[in-house]
Amino acid sequence: MRLDKYLKVSRLIKRRTVANEACDASRISVNGKTAKASYEIRIGDVIEITFGQRTLKVRVTDVKEHTLKSDAQSLYEVVSQSVDTSPQ
């Protein structure tokens, strides 16, 4: 499954177009490397998403084409979350 679609299905990012834009802006990396929206996600991949000053790192535990909102969190496990509070 494509990275942008996985981010939408897993509800990490609410819309596929927003996920696509985040990939284009180099705010998403997979296994430590900047990833394009077309990257094929596999179980075990570690996705790092930067939202402004927040960073979320998750490990892919399942890949499904469709999921209910209540089951979306079962597609990944949170590895770490951080907030950059350093002055700019």
What residue ranges define each of the domains in the chain, with the CATH number in brackets?
Answer: 3-82 (3.10.290.10)
Across the range 20-46, mean pLDDT stands at: 94
Closest CA to 45 of 6, 73, 5: 6
Residues 20 and 43: their CA atoms lie apart, in Å, by: 20
- Total-model pTM: 0.87
pLDDT value at residue 87: 62
Closest CA to 79 of 31, 9, 34, 25: 31
Is the pLDDT at 18 greater than 70? The verdict is: yes
